[in-house]
Structure 1
Amino acid sequence: MKKTILSLMLMLLLLLAGCTTPPSTQSHSPQSFYNSLAVLCGKSFRGTVVHPADGTDPFAGKALVMHVQTCSDTTLRVPFTVGEDKSRTWLIRKTPEGLQLKHDHRHEDGTPDEITMYGGISTAPAESLTHSFPADAHTAQLLPAAATNEWTLAISPDGSTFSYILKRDNQLRFQADFDLTKPLE
């Protein structure tokens, strides 16, 4: 009897082992991109300005930190601090049209900035770990100069880096990379 139960348990374990897919071969969809960020909830990561590399960007030399702070099934709130400036939060939402990125800018007292909630909907294919968000109509109306903006959020294939990229008129204007291998204490 013991031998039969042991054999059945061994066959069940082998069957279950054959049902799993190694993480490196799983396909990535907006859901898995979203989940890749959501699993970082409660953690903060230091970033560096990658472009422009000449130190002319106002963010150059300041501490850049992304805080994956609030996570639900449909919305991620990721405050992005630049030095002491805590006015920026990236909102990443699941919508019927695809992933949406909005920039929520606030004053120190928590009231919305005059220029806030700009962004767009992802145009990336479902399996991509890189999602680009061309400026939507609201953005073009709010900030006419940003009508050609495209923001990109990317997770490196090995999951070690998160990148925030801004292009305008198809020209790279800004890029910050965050080291996901070293959460801040």
Structure 2
Amino acid sequence: MSASILIRAALIAGVAGLAGCATPATSSPSTGEGVPARHFLAKLTPYCGRAFPGRVVEGQPASDDPVWNQPAVLFLRCERDGNILSLSLGEDRSRVWLLGSTPAGLRLSHMHSHPDGSPEDLNAYGGLARDPAPTATRVEFPADEPTLKLFAEHGLRASRDNVWALELADENTLVYELKRRGRTFRMAFDLSRPQTPPPPPWAEMPVR
């Protein structure tokens, strides 16, 4: 499956449940200092086509999944449809984050796949950006309606309060964040240390 097809499918899935909503995007009152959330896409442009090492810098509570102790590499690819950020954790290439504009607003989607490229059951979830964003370097994504429905189907009641964020903490650091009551998870990627990109994510392997 090509990268463009992958991101289109995810973004379409993410906004399918929003068509009937009166307010298409989660928004916060303008303070006069906010900027359009979609402008964050341009902030990532200088890093397109490169891969960067990362690590978990905060985990409360700490995960007992050993995969998070593996070397982390984030590969940022910029497509016409949006940005594809594939996360490799050692040999695990199951995770892809998609960041792109939809008719409803800027959306962050999480794709999870099996080694053969087939999607996991919990897949294509994420959030619509609060718009305007508080700053040009941080965008927050509360769980959107399709994600709330998906979490309910899987019995993930606590996850309904998820707010994800992407932040350029400084010129050398990209932060991925997840927060909800009783849960904080943050990964930091060192943009000053580009390295050889990892193999393609499992999501781009042909399904067998």
Smaller-chain TM-score bracket:
0.7 to 0.9
Structure 2 gaps, min length 5: 1-33, 197-208
Q: Distance in 2 between matches of 1:150 and 1:133?
A: 5
Q: Answer 1 or 2: higher relative contact order, Cα 8 Å, separation at least 6.
A: 2
Q: Distance in 2 between matches of 1:45 and 1:28?
A: 27
Q: 2:163 aligns with which of 150, 162, 168?
A: 150
Give 1:90's aligned residue: 97
Alpha-carbon deviation of 1:113? 1.1
Q: Secondary structure at the match of 1:143?
A: helix
Does the alignment pair 1:77 with 2:84? yes
Q: Secondary structure at the match of 1:37?
A: helix
Q: CA RMSD in A?
A: 2.2
Number of aligned residue pairs: give it. Answer: 156
Structure 1 gaps, min length 5: 1-26
Q: Distance in 2 between matches of 1:111 and 1:37?
A: 28
Q: Secondary structure at the match of 1:183?
A: coil
Give 1:175's aligned residue: 186
Q: What letter is aligned with 1:150?
A: V
Give 1:18's aligned residue: none
Change (3 A) 1:57 1:42: farther
Alpha-carbon deviation of 1:82? 1.5
Give 1:40's aligned residue: 47
The worse-fitting range, judged by mean Cα deviation, of 111-120 and 137-146 is 137-146
Does the alignment pair 1:166 with 2:178? yes
Give identity over the alignment, percent: 35
* Contact in 1 for aligned 2:50/2:194 (Cα 8 Å): yes
Q: 2:75 aligns with which of 67, 75, 82?
A: 67
Larger radius of gyration: 1
Change (3 A) 1:116 1:53: closer
Alpha-carbon deviation of 1:29? 4.6
Give 1:138's aligned residue: 146
| TM-score, normalised via structure 1 length | 0.75
Q: Distance in 1 between matches of 2:106 and 2:150?
A: 21
* Contact in 1 for aligned 2:60/2:183 (Cα 8 Å): no
Alpha-carbon deviation of 1:45? 0.6
* Contact in 2 for aligned 1:152/1:166 (Cα 8 Å): yes
Alpha-carbon deviation of 1:53? 7.5
Change (3 A) 1:147 1:50: same
